[in-house]
């Protein structure tokens, strides 16, 4: 059975990267930047993993501008969605501010971009899928 990933990303280059990598890995990936569509998809299909960009400069949910921290909090505070693992993707280095944002987001893990080591990225995604597959 194909694993389903939903990706919230507003960078065109990264969308292409994710599409290519997940296709090669045999995962089905929905790539979005619209907050309303994100929750429509989450409520209509089971996803094995959420990849969430931290910034999301052009993303709105219920008419309000939101970022990955806010969307991640909503997912983790929604009973039917809270078990879905979230990997936050950020351009911020690991410092106090980014650690605080990660903690605030309630996400399960994070990846620093640019993603320069594709093998490490793939291993992290595979590991998250394996670790959380037992929760369902």
Question: Which residue shows structure tokens 């979230």?
Answer: 86
Structure tokens that stand for 103 in this block: 């903690």
Note whether 59 and 66 are within 8 A (CB): yes
**Cα–Cα distance measured from residue 3 to residue 49, given in angstroms and rounded to the nearest whole number:** 8
Closest CA to 80 of 136, 4, 128, 6: 136
Question: Which residue shows structure tokens 């569509």?
Answer: 37
Q: Helix axis angle, 35-44 relative to 68-76, nearest 10°?
A: 30
User: Domain segments of the chain: what residues?
Assistant: 4-133
Domain 4-133 classified CATH 3.40.50.2300? yes
Q: What is the pLDDT along the chain (136 residues), one digit of tens a residue?
A: 789 999 999 989 999 999 999 999 899 999 999 999 999 999 999 999 999 999 898 899 999 999 999 999 999 999 999 999 999 988 766 554 566 777 888 999 888 888 888 898 899 898 888 877 655 4
Q: Helix axis angle, 96-105 relative to 68-76, nearest 10°?
A: 40
> pTM for the complete prediction?
0.90
């Amino acid at each position: 059975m194909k694993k389903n990933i939903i990706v919230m990303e507003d960078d065109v280059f990264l969308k292409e990267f994710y599409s290519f990598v997940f296709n090669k890995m045999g995962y089905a990936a929905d790539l979005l930047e619209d907050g309303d569509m994100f929750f429509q998809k989450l409520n209509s299909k089971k996803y094995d993993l959420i990849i969430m960009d931290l910034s999301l400069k052009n993303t709105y949910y219920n008419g309000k501008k939101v970022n990955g921290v806010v969307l991640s909090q909503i997912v983790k505070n929604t009973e039917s969605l809270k078990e879905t693992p979230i990997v936050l993707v950020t351009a911020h280095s690991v410092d106090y501010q980014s650690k605080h944002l990660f903690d605030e987001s309630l996400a399960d893990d994070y990846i620093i971009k640019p993603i320069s080591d594709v093998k490490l990225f793939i291993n992290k995604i595979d590991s998250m899928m394996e670790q959380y597959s037992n929760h369902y």
